[in-house]
Amino acid sequence: MSGSMRIRILAAAVSVMRERGVANTTTKEIARVAGVAEGSIYNHFADKTELVAASMAEVAGGIRDALTRLSERVGQNSVEDNLAELAEAQIAFFTDVLPITGAVLGDRDLCARSRDRAPESPDDSPPGPVLSHAAVIAYLEAERDGGRLATWARPPYLAALLIGACQQYALLRLLTPPEAMTEVAGLPADPAEYARQVAHTVMAGHHARRARPR
């Protein structure tokens, strides 16, 4: 029952944060949505900061699944197709999480918790956001070792290009009308098409058996 209540509280916290943002999220509203007494929250979380941090980890569940799938695709499909699939998942993740993290970035306590240790991670795990980079780097290194990526390719920078491009696109989608995306930014309004084009751009010149540019 205790585990079930914790899950209900987390689900309610994520729902309220998505609707109101972190700054306007209260434990009273979370308790109302979860259908529990407000005091029950503190049986599972030390304070609101810990609850918000755990909720952020919950939101990241989808991208963790996408990164796991990527690691299982080494040597399968094409590298470009695999990166395009991940890019689409990254865009969805950033579209979901950016409205929540805006206030988090202005909260020193929450930033410190996110920076120092991801909630419920093993003691030797690095903090949250860098895990995405590490997973993409590991995938690209494996593809390079398998001969499907140019030997001179630099996976840390390719990972940063891919993830950064997805974050920027998500930000534009949140703040820009669809027509401006196309007419002003020159980008497709369809996230799937953008993901394909970003993966193609990141991979340009990095396929195996191509001479290194001078």
Cα separations in angstroms, 8 against 3, 53, 59, 160: 9, 16, 14, 35
Q: The tokens of 33 are what? A: 């949505």
Distance from C-alpha of 126 to C-alpha of 118, rounded to nearest angstrom? 7
Count how many residues are written for the chain.
214
Q: What per-residue confidence (pLDDT) applies to 95?
A: 87
Q: What per-residue confidence (pLDDT) applies to 145?
A: 93
Q: Where are the alpha helices (DSSP H) in the chain?
A: 2-20, 27-34, 48-59, 61-71, 79-105, 108-116, 130-145, 155-175, 178-183, 191-203
106-163 pLDDT, tens digit per residue, is: 667 666 666 665 444 444 444 567 888 999 999 999 999 999 999 999 999 999 999 9
In this predicted model, which residue has the larger pLDDT, 196 or 211?
196
Angle subtended at Cα 32 by Cα 101 and Cα 92, rounded to the nearest 5 degrees: 30
Q: What per-residue confidence (pLDDT) applies to 19?
A: 80
42-58 pLDDT, tens digit per residue, is: 888 888 878 887 887 77
Q: What per-residue confidence (pLDDT) applies to 64?
A: 86
Specify whether the backbone of 209 is left (phi greater than 0), alpha (psi in -120 to 50) or beta. Answer: left
